[in-house]
Amino acid sequence: MKEANILIPLIKSYYASLLKPEDYQLLLNLNSVTEVLEYLMTTQYLQVLNVSTLHREEIEKRLKNYHATNLKRLENLVYGQKRQFIYLFLLRDDLNNFISLIKTKVQSFIFYDEKLNVKMDDSLSNILESIKTTAVGQIIKQALILGTFEELVAKVDNYYFNYVFKQINTLYRGALRNSLLSGLRDWVVAHNLKLIYRMKKYNYDITRESLVYINADQVNSVTNKLREISLSEMPETKYFLSSKGKDLNLLVEHIDSIYKFNYSHKNLRTVSSIEELFLAIFLLAKIEINNIIHIIEGKRYKLNLVSLDPLLVY
């Protein structure tokens, strides 16, 4: 109860600091990247951005590190089972950032697990040995048993989602476990839809091993769902499949973000478990980063309001 009394108000405060629909409307009507950055500096991003930070990758890195710091602060306030659950979602960033570190030898992002701050002048085998007790190390070890490091990069979502489902099944029982798994189900379906779309586009065979947490007899139903989306009358569908967009993969990602957005707002209004509230604020932080990057790229390439607004979820 003490953890809840401390953490829930902090999560609600974090939620209140995120950009509002009126902020996005103002941002969409600005004329340049500089104006966007100047406006963002009147928000919680005052200490994060400046008008000289015009490179997209640098802006994205700063936004991610800002939210990583806030999420790490929340993680540090809980212990035991709840902390293990929270790290399951922070783990996704650690996994991505560690793979990037291995590939580029440049550390740009904050690691939630400090054990991942390794010496880059060491060999890959020694580096992997030094992190073998971490969740990232366990996932990479599994991947290397099944394939190569390059295949891990290509299938990182598969290894990650399967790890998360197994951990939730281990950590929880009863109604809370069912609620947490239910909350992840559409997220995973969206991942599978994107994967199937890419595989069909490049004429790859779809197998059960290609997908995440799905039975072989479900492949057809997921494929049919992809077809339903492509034939949908949703405004987003019409935009993404228009002559300008023509990208079903972007459409599926957009629908995925809409699901996460609605799921998160519902949880923040109706549930009281630390796990569900943390998952909600985690997802909303990711959506906000994506929205800001879309706006900055849109202003850079002079997209008009009609073309830019459908890319955002708010």
- The predicted pLDDT at position 303 comes to 81
Binning pLDDT at 50, 70 and 90, where does residue 290 land?
A: very high
What average pLDDT does the segment 289-313 reach? 87
Does the pLDDT value for residue 284 go beyond 90? yes
Does the pLDDT value for residue 271 go beyond 80? no
Does the pLDDT value for residue 275 go beyond 70? yes
What average pLDDT does the segment 54-74 reach? 88
In degrees rounded to 5, what are phi and psi of residue 246?
50, 50
Domain boundaries, the chain: 79-170
- Specify the pTM: 0.81
User: For the segment 3-39, what is each residue's pLDDT rounded down to a tens digit?
Assistant: 778 888 899 899 999 999 999 999 999 999 999 999 9
> By mean pLDDT, which of 97-111, 226-240, 274-288 is the weakest?
226-240
